[in-house]
A and B are shown apart, each in its own frame.
Chain A
């Protein structure tokens, strides 16, 4: 599904260059829920941006759904993002002038006109994230948890191949975070949705099938739910 090979990224700051990713190799299967963890500056957010086509790598390749991102033009990457990827951000990134319904429909509008089927899908999504009755409410009048639900619905509206989430529970309390992560799990189980989630929170990471640990721009360790030491590893963090 996703193949990352020898991926590196350098940032130039004046005369100095900083290598944030240093030859990352990673494979993610279709329908897998992967959490990416690591200390600040380890390169996890940069990896997410490269996966989303928001930036281009210095070296290496990214293949998503059998398509290489490297060879794409800026416009091709935008359209690929619109059709194949869904984004959930820490601070929701909703468009304040639009209603709940309009925010969710935004990626579809960007792609063309809405059909009846798409409208029905939007309604189903609103119901499935628990926001029924709030369709025409302006998003800036919602609570943080509700705003993140809108963001999740928006990320899923185009039926993306991959859902990319950057600290989706970073601004929420534990109860609200659990609700959001439960939603992730729901879509992961019911729709076999591939999810890649960057998080600092081991509680959130615990919902994933696999945890990829980053350190100094490389994959330090990968722990899978299937591995024997997964529960032990989580417990060591929780302790």
Chain B
């Protein structure tokens, strides 16, 4: 009995090399997608894990817009019957006493004193030692950098010393620099027993904040104390897990998914090429089947089963490979961002999604061949055979349509990108023919007559060869565009940071700045201006879907520092003076989900309030996950009174010397000195690290496209075995046949590279002129990626051609001649 699955299996494996290439393309395509899905899900998990660790079991916290407040203020909460647990914390800035020559800024440390190191409101995964409420708790990164272990003594300047009782994993509460370079601009963080810190600082009943847990949602208690604390120096906020203020990893994944989508598109094209050729080759077979009573559906079903088998095999191999790649990608990503984090690979849901995509995408790309197989005409096929050739008129029409689509270059809209890529496909036959003519002398010089024949052969299956070159071109152009964006980004960010940082140095104190401090700063030779920066933080707010989020609200004023950019910056700053109005940074606005003119709900020190969103602005502060309010409104209506930050403008680039002076003069309460250069360096170093990932991805996309080239050349070789047999019979040596196929591969590769670079130039031009990008990307192509694209594009095409050329040279002359 005829088993349709068995017949389908025989059909797809009939040509083993072609089958292998197609399978390899599916495997690579699906493994790319799987790796992105796994890495995305795992990254989300990692950030959720650390967010939850940060939140622990706390529901609310009571903070102050002053440095500390008396513990007595929160005693009614501590005594409330619905409160099940509390954690008291006091922050104090100081310096390590270290051996060797380390500057004050390198030695700065924030000690958080907690009343119970084992509190359920504090999650500290212990690596070594124990949480004994007696000693110092060090994060692993700090312990490694300081060379300290459990039992070692740590000394703090002007305070005292204590033994290390535990070393713990990374948590946000203890985020510390992992190298001395980072230590220049950020403080270490350690935990000490509250009593010990109070003893060292003399702040006997003071705390910086109290976290607490309630029975149920604690909403009544929250609202009650929100009212009670109105006009007081303390305020109550829900504890919210919101990491968007400290990272923009979601935006990054949009970028990587684009590359994964590109790989699926290339794989799909390879699948289409293979199955379409197979259907054309078997048209006679299908015609005979139909003449024997097979319906259109049963013929289509046969091809559908073939694709299902291929898709299932590709998925079975590609998905596990993708999980492994996802793991590698995670390691690369975390090292690029210098996150000292641990992760557990989340592969279950991504695997399920990847399997679905893996089984569906090859079939989707095969729908036309499947339909075409079923529609085979018995009479026409048996009479004319299976030859399908496009006319030169069709190519001309395509070229006209391609040129028309190119006009989208002048339209500033995302659809222009799709139009340019479509025009690449439509114009490619002309490009390939033109390039064949241009390169004829080079190919003749390299391969003699084999080169001449190669240039002519490309016109035999012009559509297929052009599509193969076009796919390589699209891969190269999209990756070059992405790498241009990545390469331009540091410059764009630098510009944005310089425009919106508000000064040259931002100095943060743990206590509000006094007029005396400001006067002292004005007396510095290098300082030309000192402006306060008021930052209300943390402030919780709600999206339009009533989900709680958390950000900072910065104050702005007419004569204050420039903290954002907008075409109507002055208008907006004036408009902010109206009551209950706020400006949102771009990311905060997107996360909020409302429209300009609508109101955003915030939990302010003066209780729950609604503010009309009057505009969206660009700012480097928290990558746009921030709000801006008029300084008077922030004080009077919002209820935030103090400034912990000052923005200094310098008359020369004396950042490092002023840094030392600041730490020396204000070391007792200074918590951070961050220059505009520090900010630029931190923001752009991660982006520069991304370049390496893009580099690898560019190479992988070219590898995938080259598999397409190998597949196309192999299909061409099998289709032309009669002609190759004739050439061999007429005296063409095996080497001459090999050279001919190699030259064809070179032509496709070169056309892909040339077309890709040309398309990349157009895409980068569109991007650089786009108002949406606001001049973020300059018109240039990244040289290193360009060189890689040229070398990899041509050399991998030669490799692909070499595989096909081996097959061509081994064709048996006699059986090839019989094909005629």
Contacts and interface: CB of A to CB of B under 8 A. Distances in A.
A42 to B, nearest CB: 17
Contacts of A203: none
B437 interface: no
Interface centre among A54, A78, A89, A111 (most CB of B within 10 A): A78
A231 interface: no
Contacts of B814: 49, 54-55
A78 B817 contact: no
A91 B820 contact: yes
Interface in B225-239: none
A49 B729 CA distance: 10
Contacts of B452: 109
A214 interface: no
Given A54-B814, A98-B456, A110-B449, A93 B726 contact: yes
Contacts of B410: none
A107 B727 CA distance: 8
Contacts of B817: 54, 89, 93
A81 B820 contact: no
B53 to A, nearest CB: 68
A44 interface: no
Contacts of A93: 722, 725-726, 729, 817, 820
Interface in A40-87: 49, 52, 54-55, 74-75, 78-79, 81-83, 87
Contact of A97 (B457, B731, B734): B457
A109 B450 CA distance: 9
Contact of A83 (B453, B731, B733): B731
A32 B449 CA distance: 34
Contact of A54 (B459, B722, B729): B729
Nearest to B724: A95
Interface residues of B, number: 26
B723 A52 contact: no
Interface in B733-753: 733-736
Given A93-B817, A95-B726, A110 B732 contact: yes
Contacts of B733: 75, 78-79, 110
A207 interface: no
Contacts of B659: none
A97 B730 contact: no
B731 A111 contact: yes
B258 interface: no
A106 B734 contact: no
Contacts of B729: 52, 54, 81, 87, 93
Interface in A116-141: none
B460 interface: yes
Nearest to A157: B730
Contact of B730 (A75, A112, A154): A154
Interface residues of A, number: 28
B731 A89 contact: no
B68 to A, nearest CB: 87
A96 interface: yes
Interface string B457-471: 101100000000000
Contacts of B731: 78-79, 81-83, 107, 110-111, 158
B727 to A, nearest CB: 7
B530 to A, nearest CB: 79
Contacts of B813: 54
Nearest to A52: B729
Contacts of A97: 453, 456-457, 459-460
Nearest to B818: A91
Nearest to B460: A97
A95 B820 contact: no
B456 A89 contact: no
Nearest to B456: A97
Contacts of B459: 97
Nearest to B726: A93
A154 B728 CA distance: 14
Interface of B: 448-449, 452-453, 456-457, 459-460, 722-723, 725-736, 813-814, 817, 820
10 contacts: A54-B729, A75-B733, A79-B733, A82-B731, A93-B729, A93-B817, A110-B727, A110-B731, A110-B732, A158-B731
Given A83-B731, A98-B453, 12 more contacts: A52-B729, A54-B729, A78-B734, A82-B730, A89-B726, A89-B820, A95-B723, A97-B453, A97-B457, A109-B452, A110-B733, A110-B736
